[in-house]
A and B are shown apart, each in its own frame.
Chain A
Amino acid sequence: SQTIHQWPATLVQPVGSPLSLECTVEGTSNPNLYWYRQAAGRGLQLLFYSVGIGQISSEVPQNLSASRPQDRQFILSSKKLLLSDSGFYLCAWSVRKGREPQHFGDGTRLSIL
């Protein structure tokens, strides 16, 4: 069966520090991969998605970037964090064909001090 792993689960970072969140998927090949952000008590905001290695689409201009160095690895990064980057970050995967559900990881709670 397929599984998705995100780490770390919780992260506290100072303003201006760099960020790297990692997501890996097991048990499937050529998945679509996604990064979402969820502000406290709010809905989901799609940040990036990827349909293949090195292929990244950005949905919202921001202080963040994403990379996909391997088929089942998706990384969310920032060079200098802002207070507004605080939130709950979720990684998700889906099969390539449309009309299928996405499957989410457990999320990373990021607090910026």
Chain B
Amino acid sequence: GESVGLHLPTLSVQEGDNSIINCAYSNSASDYFIWYKQESGKGPQFIIDIRSNMDKRQGQRVTVLLNKTVKHLSLQIAATQPGDSAVYFCAEGGGTSYGKLTFGQGTILTVHP
């Protein structure tokens, strides 16, 4: 993918608000999508995944929505907490790329107490 340097999209919210992080994916053949959370100095942490035969999946405080028509993925975090502050990446896989994941740009989420 192209380099976008250090200018990641950012989202600032107040504690207790709901957060929505968006992602556009590139490969229409992808059939598996994952959201990861990455804190500074740590590896990506699995949050939630969804397969292309679904358009919504819910976890604990998180919901992932998939719109295959426009190749868009979103992560909704309910009642955001300061501990949710991190960089969030979407990743796509499957289809003809089974095995490897292709990661999106990342969004910096900052939650203010």
**A in complex with B:** no
